[in-house]
Structure 1
Amino acid sequence: MSIRGNQTLTSDGESFAIGFFSPGNSTNQYLGIWYNKIPGQAVVWIANRNNPLSRNSSGVFMLNRDGNLVLMDGTRYVWSSNISFVTGTVSNSTVVILQNSGNLILRDGVGMVLWRSFDHPTDTLLPGMKIGLNKKTGHNGLLTSWKAEDDPTSGDFAIGVDPRRPIQLTIWNKSLLHWRSNVWDGSLFQTTIDGSRNNYLSYIAYAENSDGFYMTFGVSDSSIVSRWVLNTTGVVELLSWQENSKKWAVLWGFPRDECDIYGRCGPFGSCDTNNKPGICNCLTGFKPTIQKDWENGNWSGGCARQKELKCDKGDEFIRLEGMKLPDHFIAAGNLTVEQCEIQCQKNCSCIAYGYVNTSIVGVKWRCIHWGGDLTDLRRIHDGRHDLYVRLDGSELGASGKGQGGKTKKMIVIPVAITIGILLIGTLCCLFHRRNKFKRPKRGSDMGIKFKASTSLGSKNDSEVNSFSLSSIMAATDSFSAANKLGEGGFGPVYQGSLVDGREIAVKRLSKKSGQGLEEFMNEVTVIAKLQHKNLVRLLGSCIQKEEKMLIYEYMPNKSLDKHLFDPSKQVNLDWSLRFGIIEGIAQGILYLHKYSRLRIIHRDLKASNILLDDSLNPKISDFGMARIFGGNQTEANTGRVVGTLGYMSPEYALNGHFSEKSDVFSFGVLLIEIISSKRNTGLGAMERGPGIRANRSIY
């Protein structure tokens, strides 16, 4: 493989191309990746941004003899993937692939990824990419701006995760802090594209594990082309391609205003764009350090205390509502609000505390303290975070009011209001309980309890873990193409890894899926109550915004059809293995029909719904079509026939009549497939009629 001159390599879906380009009026030449079908050559990655070729040079991009990707200018090495191969490995068997996600990857002969461009971003973040610190390698992936519009050399601005501020995003202007996000609290940054496409969401999520911490970018609809770009002025913009206008639209950006600039109002100063005439105020109990500078609009010196603290002799805390929490916090532990305050009160160096829901490397903590200057504060009128600042008790005054807050000592609620609230609450509760029994049963009303979680913990048999969207995005690299295992009637399936290292498979309900909420809830309801070694294990679900996902244990050998019908793999299935697979499926069906807590008719048994673990033990999956039989019920009818032709019994396919025998019929077809390694054609039963033997023309 080699690229030179005007040659390009395109991704399999032709969304991206890689080749040589010269931006604007530049006399230099670069190797880059750009959108292939969008006019204007929007470049998303550059190999040699700081080591350009001259426009007239004869650069070549190729696979070197040592297995590395290299960019050559004659005999001079301009750029290399710089992979060190282990002695004895076959380095000349590497292959290069440009994925349709825009990720350029280098693989070895057995398919292991050795290098990828997503780990070395330039100024652009694409869906599935992440920026952050890899603790094992020490590499900190940053976005770095271009120097100028026609000069992709590394510019002055960079955005990434600061190891000293691991749960925040940071923008630097050279070595100086330019912008800082709020403290990560487990929620997502998300935005809609516009009113006509309000089902589209763009996510930025934080993830962390023992290997490192990073921010990842994802979208709910991969058909919409979008990207985050750090421009030459230090602003990060979310851009989306508008096909109608043939332009890139700016959906969001930061820093957004003057208050977003780091430390705008100095220590103990709070910024608020609604303040007039100046945007800066000192916190209650503080005054400008230099009054004249403050009056002239120079707020960088910040504020100083009016009265010094007395530690345990009368200090109190004032509550400031809706704040961007200050920089340089200290994690104080997984405490309650009351415990957090007491711990801060006992420590004379603790001058403020806050309460957020977050974690570092899987360790939960909610209480955070500050021991130095409170820097980079701003008022956020729709913010979720409150800040409690320590003051001399006399500073609280008669009103007890601070900037956006009230001292807890001054909160007085009249008895009449209290009684009124209690009465209203009681009436609402009674109304809710009355209507609870009138609603169609779904979710927890179906006997399933959803338990908030981001990792597996202990749970009752009928309790299902509820995963946050951010944890699933982090586990799957924002549903990246590299993590996609396949796609079925439900939607795409992704491989992922939880923060504790456990591998998962994520079934993501597609908006175009023929299945919907009914099948989704049916699968959760059914499989949560089943426990058998030959049934796939449901770990939990995720229902958030437009997203509906099921999270399963990961089966490394994927589905049975991948082995049965692939000539290169079917030879590995000797008769002993095939018999074990047949026996395991039979045991699973017997459990469903006879020994489980519920009598289950699967209705969609087929080779692709049999998963294989690392020892090739079979596990029945996909219970979206399953039906529960109760009491002495042995059969049922439905007007909605679902399943797969070729596996459905004639009476079910033609008349909607199903029973345990329907699954037995499907098992018989599956049995023939396992023995013969031949796929059924799905003909016969539907085309001939009920009187003809169903397997007559299947093979």
Structure 2
Amino acid sequence: MNQSHRRLFLPLLSVLLLTASAVVADSSSTLTRQGAIGGERRLVSPGGVFQLGLFPVANGTKWFLGIWFTVSPPAVVWVANRDRPLDALSSGMVTLSGGGDLVLLYTARDNVTVWSSNSSAAAPAAVAQLHDNGNLMLTSEAGAVVWQSFEHPTNTFISEMRTGRDLRTGAVWSLSSWRDADDPSAGDFRYDMDTSGSPELHIWREGRKTYRTGPWNGVRFSGIPEMTTFEDMFEFRFTDTADEVSYGYRDRVGSPPSRVVLNESGVMQRMVWDRATGAWNTFWSGPRDQCDSYGLCGAFGVCNVVDAIVCSCVHGFQQRSPAEWRMRDASGGCARRTPLRCGDDSDGFYALRGVKLPETHGSSVDAGASLEECGRRCLSNCNCTAYAASDIRGGGAGTGCIQWFVDLMDTRFVDGGQDLFVRLALSDLENTKTKKFPAVIATVITGFALLALLIGFLIWRKRDRPWWLRHCLQGGNARRPGSCSEEAVDRE
């Protein structure tokens, strides 16, 4: 937000907050079957952190039921009727139906139901409550949770939410972008957890993958090393059990409000509220550069954003189509120079240092294996193409084992990345050593040559001096009085 926008935004925010405090002074955090909210009435969480009510977009021509941060009304974190807007503030009413569902009614059209929680619980909801973590929960008279907004995210997840999958019920907690800044209907982009290999988060656009975080490595996602730089503000939570695979975070005590948003352009943004300036600061966004574009360098290609030509082949591989690569299209990837022979003494591994691990489709994970055992297993399996540590906690090379059995896709260099061990024929590994040895020899020879030149120069300088100057330096020159003065020596 630039300075001029901030000057406009802060007064507007003050007006909105004053209006909100006036409107909700007698509001509650709960809604029962006997109550209803509509117009400018809202639910307010007990600590005043979040509000639920109707909000406008498109110059007030469309109205939606949503939840937002009280300090920042434009920061909407959940929307109910994404695809069925109301046309006026006065035309909507929120209530609990006789069946215990939370419903949004279109009062201008005979109370037709615009949106419903559609709970499938056996016991109907008796109370709806907005909590200070932003979760809208429906509970039965016995206190059982019947429905909650955290289980139905829109384009944002916040502290204590999660994205992932319930492996027992098949429920999916994923984000979908707004259509545009003035249209909260579902857009082109989706953000969800892929569990077909080692779990990782993907962004999709209309069925096409555009970005991946890399697998979780016990500390962070492999392709986002900078996550460790804001651990003082967030507690990251990753669950991988037989019942659930999910990722979420929790704001640490004393940290300001935060949110993670999938925007309408397909970019994930982690934003933190700056109380001093009254603005959201972006801590991280992804994709961050062209190397984060999924599959840019193709199979067995590796992307390096600091190189003028960002794509190259992993050592031991060559371009499948040099003509396409010359036209800066590396999506066809790379092929092996030397076929694998699949024997204990015929193949080895090349260490590709500091990378986001490749896509883990077609991989297997064994958290209990050592990295050394992982290498032995890969070498003994003719279909294994690479391996890496699955857990980097505790320092060192890491523990656990990921093995790939397909082409390596979407690998890139990142600062603080992991080591990937790629299977090659021994002849290609020997070529690596052969290339390094002449370079070392050349460096040594160059060093000796420079030393020899320096010694030769010093000897020449000494022999090239006049005989009287050499005598001066050795104690004096009786035949040429005054010739050993400092001025004479300096002239020479």
Structure 2 residue runs without a partner (length 5+): 1-34, 441-492
State how far apart, in whole Å, the 1-side matches of 2:228 and 2:363 are.
Answer: 36
Q: 1:134: Cα distance to partner?
A: 1.1
Structure of greater Rg? 2
State how far apart, in whole Å, the 1-side matches of 2:246 and 2:385 are.
Answer: 29
Q: 1:222: Cα distance to partner?
A: 4.7
Tell me: CA distance 1:351–1:37, structure 2 relative to 1, closer, same or farther (3 Å).
closer
Contact 1:3 1:61 survives alignment (8 Å):
yes
State how far apart, in whole Å, the 1-side matches of 2:356 and 2:421 are.
Answer: 12
State how far apart, in whole Å, the 1-side matches of 2:338 and 2:216 are.
Answer: 32
Partner residue, 1:279: 310
Q: 1:17: Cα distance to partner?
A: 0.9
Partner residue, 1:61: 94
User: Once the two structures are superposed, what CA deviation does each residue of 1:637-669 show, in whole Å capped at 9, x if it has no partner?
Assistant: xxxxxxxxxxxxxxxxxxxxxxxxxxxxxxxxx
Partner residue, 1:450: none
1:31 and 2:69 are equivalent in the alignment: no
Partner residue, 2:382: 348
State how far apart, in whole Å, the 1-side matches of 2:341 and 2:228 are.
Answer: 52
Partner residue, 2:364: 331
Contact 1:329 1:368 survives alignment (8 Å):
no
State how far apart, in whole Å, the 2-side matches of 1:380 and 1:193 are.
Answer: 14
Which of 271, 275, 297 is matched with 1:265 structurally? Answer: 297
Q: Which amino acid aligns with 1:14?
A: G
The 5 A counterparts of 1:362-401 are: 366-383=400-417, 385-400=418-433
Contact 1:157 1:172 survives alignment (8 Å):
yes
The 5 A counterparts of 1:597-612 are: none
State how far apart, in whole Å, the 1-side matches of 2:277 and 2:415 are.
Answer: 34
After TM superposition, the score normalised by the length of structure 1 is: 0.53
Tell me: CA distance 1:343–1:401, structure 2 relative to 1, closer, same or farther (3 Å).
farther
Q: Which amino acid aligns with 1:205?
A: R
Q: 1:137: Cα distance to partner?
A: 2.2
Which of 206, 215, 226 is matched with 1:183 structurally? Answer: 215
Partner residue, 2:274: 242
Contact 2:352 2:419 survives alignment (8 Å):
yes
Partner residue, 2:5: none
State how far apart, in whole Å, the 1-side matches of 2:385 and 2:86 are.
Answer: 55
Identity %: 36
Partner residue, 1:79: 115
Q: 1:205: Cα distance to partner?
A: 2.8
Q: 1:211: Cα distance to partner?
A: 2.0
1:300 and 2:336 are equivalent in the alignment: no
The 5 A counterparts of 1:503-652 are: none
SS where residue 227 of structure 1 aligns? strand
Contact 1:34 1:42 survives alignment (8 Å):
yes
State how far apart, in whole Å, the 1-side matches of 2:209 and 2:176 are.
Answer: 14
Which of 188, 191, 196 is matched with 1:156 structurally? Answer: 188
Tell me: CA distance 1:401–1:37, structure 2 relative to 1, closer, same or farther (3 Å).
farther
SS where residue 173 of structure 2 aligns? coil
Partner residue, 1:564: none
Partner residue, 1:11: 45
Q: 1:355: Cα distance to partner?
A: 1.9
Tell me: CA distance 1:272–1:81, structure 2 relative to 1, closer, same or farther (3 Å).
same
Partner residue, 1:49: 82
Contact 2:39 2:90 survives alignment (8 Å):
no
State how far apart, in whole Å, the 2-side matches of 1:200 and 1:12 are.
Answer: 27
User: Once the two structures are superposed, what CA deviation does each residue of 1:457-477 show, in whole Å capped at 9, x if it has no partner?
Assistant: xxxxxxxxxxxxxxxxxxxxx
Q: 1:236: Cα distance to partner?
A: 0.9
SS where residue 179 of structure 2 aligns? strand
Q: 1:398: Cα distance to partner?
A: 4.4
State how far apart, in whole Å, the 2-side matches of 1:326 and 1:61 are.
Answer: 47
Higher relative contact order (CA 8 A, sep 6+): 2
More displaced, 330-339 or 310-319?
A: 330-339
State how far apart, in whole Å, the 1-side matches of 2:231 and 2:350 are.
Answer: 40
1:130 and 2:130 are equivalent in the alignment: no
Q: Which amino acid aligns with 2:421?
A: Y
Tell me: CA distance 1:37–1:381, structure 2 relative to 1, closer, same or farther (3 Å).
closer
Q: Which amino acid aligns with 1:10?
A: V
Tell me: CA distance 1:305–1:33, structure 2 relative to 1, closer, same or farther (3 Å).
same
State how far apart, in whole Å, the 2-side matches of 1:250 and 1:84 are.
Answer: 38
State how far apart, in whole Å, the 2-side matches of 1:220 and 1:126 are.
Answer: 13
State how far apart, in whole Å, the 1-side matches of 2:335 and 2:291 are.
Answer: 20
State how far apart, in whole Å, the 1-side matches of 2:89 and 2:274 are.
Answer: 35
Q: 1:14: Cα distance to partner?
A: 1.2
State how far apart, in whole Å, the 1-side matches of 2:321 and 2:88 are.
Answer: 55
Q: 1:209: Cα distance to partner?
A: 2.5
Q: 1:52: Cα distance to partner?
A: 2.0
Partner residue, 2:126: 94
Tell me: CA distance 1:184–1:393, structure 2 relative to 1, closer, same or farther (3 Å).
same
State how far apart, in whole Å, the 2-side matches of 1:255 and 1:203 are.
Answer: 22
Q: 1:356: Cα distance to partner?
A: 1.9
Contact 1:193 1:251 survives alignment (8 Å):
no
Q: 1:96: Cα distance to partner?
A: 0.9
The 5 A counterparts of 1:452-531 are: none
What is the number of residues matched between the two proteins?
391
SS where residue 322 of structure 1 aligns? strand
Q: 1:78: Cα distance to partner?
A: 1.6
Contact 1:166 1:213 survives alignment (8 Å):
no
Tell me: CA distance 1:166–1:286, structure 2 relative to 1, closer, same or farther (3 Å).
closer
Tell me: CA distance 1:400–1:219, structure 2 relative to 1, closer, same or farther (3 Å).
farther
Tell me: CA distance 1:204–1:179, structure 2 relative to 1, closer, same or farther (3 Å).
farther
More displaced, 23-32 or 108-117?
A: 23-32
Q: Which amino acid aligns with 2:381?
A: N
State how far apart, in whole Å, the 2-side matches of 1:119 and 1:131 are.
Answer: 9
After TM superposition, the score normalised by the length of structure 2 is: 0.74
SS where residue 33 of structure 1 aligns? strand
CA RMSD between the two structures: 2.7
Tell me: CA distance 1:15–1:261, structure 2 relative to 1, closer, same or farther (3 Å).
same
Q: 1:28: Cα distance to partner?
A: 2.0
Q: Which amino acid aligns with 1:75?
A: N
SS where residue 345 of structure 1 aligns? helix
Tell me: CA distance 1:335–1:209, structure 2 relative to 1, closer, same or farther (3 Å).
closer
State how far apart, in whole Å, the 1-side matches of 2:175 and 2:155 are.
Answer: 5
Q: 1:204: Cα distance to partner?
A: 3.5
SS where residue 57 of structure 2 aligns? coil
Q: 1:51: Cα distance to partner?
A: 2.2
State how far apart, in whole Å, the 2-side matches of 1:94 and 1:225 are.
Answer: 30
Which of 56, 59, 63 is matched with 1:22 structurally? Answer: 56
Q: 1:208: Cα distance to partner?
A: 2.2
Q: 1:175: Cα distance to partner?
A: 0.7
Tell me: CA distance 1:29–1:262, structure 2 relative to 1, closer, same or farther (3 Å).
same
Q: 1:152: Cα distance to partner?
A: 0.4
Q: Which amino acid aligns with 1:41?
A: P
